[in-house]
Amino acid sequence: MEAAMRYIGIDLGTSAVKLILMGADGTIYKTVSKEYPISFPRPGWSEQNPCDWYEQTKAGIRELTEGTDTTDIAGMSFGGQMHGLVILDKDDNVIRPAILWNDGRTDKECQYLNNVIGRDKLSEYTANIAFAGFTAPKLLWLKTNEPDNFARISKIMLPKDYLAYRLTGVHCTDYSDASGMLLLDVKNRCWSGQMLSICGISMEQMPALYESYEKVGTLREAVAEELGLARDTIVAAGAGDNAAAAIGTGTTGSGRCNISLGTSGTIFISSDRFSVDDNNALHSFAHADGNYHLMGCMLSAASCNKWWMDGIIGTKDYSKEQEPITDDMLGNNHVYFLPYLMGERSPHNDPHARGTFTGLTMDTTRTDMTQAVLEGVAFAIRDSFEVAGKLGIKIDRTTICGGGAKSRLWCRIIANVLGIDVDMPALEEGPSQGAAMLAMVACKEYDSVKAAVDAIVKVSGTIHPDKEIAARYDRRYNEFAGIYPALKNVFASLA
């Protein structure tokens, strides 16, 4: 009997690469995580060495497959942190550390793009406007501040695509990840000549474009030998982390929603048609299933809770800190938290925004502040839901994933803040799971992404909103929504 094939999903995150070995039926055989450093050369800057990603990915693959028969591993693919600028010289060597998605150095460049080139033009060219984390503003920053490095650029890549290149020798990217560069004509799924010209780069410097589920190549001979894998192991293009996670949660087709509570937080709304909101508050991107999606992104989500727990109150026992928060406290907290520790993207597009606690009094407790952090992230997610609602998009349920989703309390808060059902996936491995499923499609295990989703993705349970709690949160959200506008000029003056 022919052996069932297995697939490797690689999630190139901000703090670590996570890998899974997955069967075609969704069985997870093994998971591995390998960390690497992140550097902050100046306040608001964020960089990593792409070579660290590759070395830790190789180490992860070796550990993942240790002691197993690797002849039945048919393919691999990626989910990756988006927007990072990776530049290679004519010999394909990395020129400088990658400037990451959460780097805020490009305020001047974003102002130029949005106000001089103009938001209308940017939206026409790319379906989006400039945000501090996007790739195009980083190129303009590099052109001005590191002209020698800019002049050496032979290829411009995104983080996960650097892995694909090192594994296969192919300079590639996929449409979902490329959508976040502000260099892609999202509607027509091609590079925007106008945007390349604005950034002073050529078509030859850009990688080839693929659908996320398409084969880009097979392993280089030396790489296959080093990893102990077959030379003909297929490598698929993969997707941006949120699009990959959405595949893993079954968020495909029209009007489906997924919330990701990772380092950053996202609301991901899949669609079978292209659309753009009037103010470009939500990103309009290509999806890994070959269609499109709208996405709201907040730069600090589960990282807010980690900052509060680890850095401020000094504990790793997150669940113990959340135990005192009872149902009668939900929607009754007098403390508000703005979760803008790294600035904010959707819907404010303000790199100067900062985190704040508002409403502290002498009787405020540690538990009140812990609750406020969880609620602040939920309220910020609702900001994006409000924009979707104005587009006429009705969302009555969502799936949820990411490290923060392990907190049942946090999921319950989100269900009530949004007033919708929250489905808990039976299997939740984030972008690595979606990446493995994309590899399955590339290897013809399934005919389409939808077929893979239908076969693998299941829901383990649903959290329903409570009418009374949801009503209390409605009132609290309206108060929360007034805090950022009141402080916007303060943030700008502090910067």
Bridge-based pairing state of the strands 459-463 and 421-425: antiparallel
Q: What are phi and psi of 460, to 5 degrees?
A: -95, -20
241 is catalytic: yes
* Angle at CA of residue 47, ends 77 and 156, nearest 5°: 55
Residue among 314, 359, 346, 388 at smallest CA distance from 480: 359
Q: How far apart are CA 258 and CA 61, in angstroms?
A: 28
Q: Which residues contact 454 (CB under 8 A, 6 or more apart)?
A: none
Is 206 marked within a binding site? Answer: no
DSSP 3-state of 356: strand
CB of 246 closer than 8 Å to CB of 287: yes
> Which tokens in the block code for residue 271?
């669609």
> Which tokens in the block code for residue 262?
């990772």
Query: In 195-286, where do the E strands start and end?
Result: 208-210, 215-218, 234-236, 239-240, 257-261, 265-271, 283-286
Q: How far apart are CA 149 and CA 142, in angstroms?
A: 7
Phi-psi group of 17: left, alpha or beta (phi > 0 → left; psi -120 to 50 → alpha; rest → beta): beta
* Catalytic residue (choose from 241, 289, 350, 383): 241
CB of 265 closer than 8 Å to CB of 298: yes
| Buried b or exposed e, range 329-345, using 16+ CB within 10 angstroms | ebbebebbbbbbbbbbb
Bridge-based pairing state of the strands 86-88 and 172-174: unpaired
Is 293 marked within a binding site? Answer: no
Sign of the Cα torsion 303, 309, 313, 316 reads negative
Q: How far apart are CA 93 and CA 153, in angstroms?
A: 10
CA–CA distances in Å: residue 275 to residues 135, 258, 272, 293 = 22, 18, 10, 8
CB atoms within 10 A of CB 69: 9
Quickly tell me which residue has 């009037």 as its tokens. Answer: 278
Tell me which residues are annotated as active site: 241
Q: Would you list which residues are annotated within the binding site for substrate?
A: 82-83
